[in-house]
Amino acid sequence: MHGDRLVDERGSRVFAAGKLDNGTDQEVNGDTVFEIGSMTKTFTALLLVDMVERGEMKLDDPVAKHLPESVQVPARNGKEITLLDLVTHTAGLPRDPDNLTSTRGLPENPWKRRR
C-alpha cells in the first residue's frame, strides 16, 4: 500500500497504489488513514533543534507557550511540561489518546503482524 499527495503550482494530486489489508478489495486513496508510528519523532526533533538554533524557541519553553490559550496542557508533578520533556519522552503523556480505540481508527493491536 502506498499513497502520496503532491501539491504544486498545478494544484493537488493524489498518487496511490495497493489495496487495504482489511479483507475487502478496497483500494488505497487520498482519504486512506495510515499508521505513521514513530517516523515523525525524528523529523519533529530535527525541526525543534533547528528552531532552537535559530533562536525561535528554547528547549525549556513550556509547551503551553506555543499553543493557543484554549488548549489545556497538563502539568507533570506540579511542573509545566516543556519542549525538552516532549522531545525526550519524559512528559508523562499517555502513548495514545483516550478516544483512539479499535472502533475509532486504531486496530486492536496495530503492531501485531498479520500473516
Q: Which residues are catalytic?
A: 38
Residues 6+ apart with CB under 8 A from 83: 48, 57, 58, 59, 60, 61, 63, 66
Report strand pairing: 75-76 vs 79-80.
Answer: antiparallel
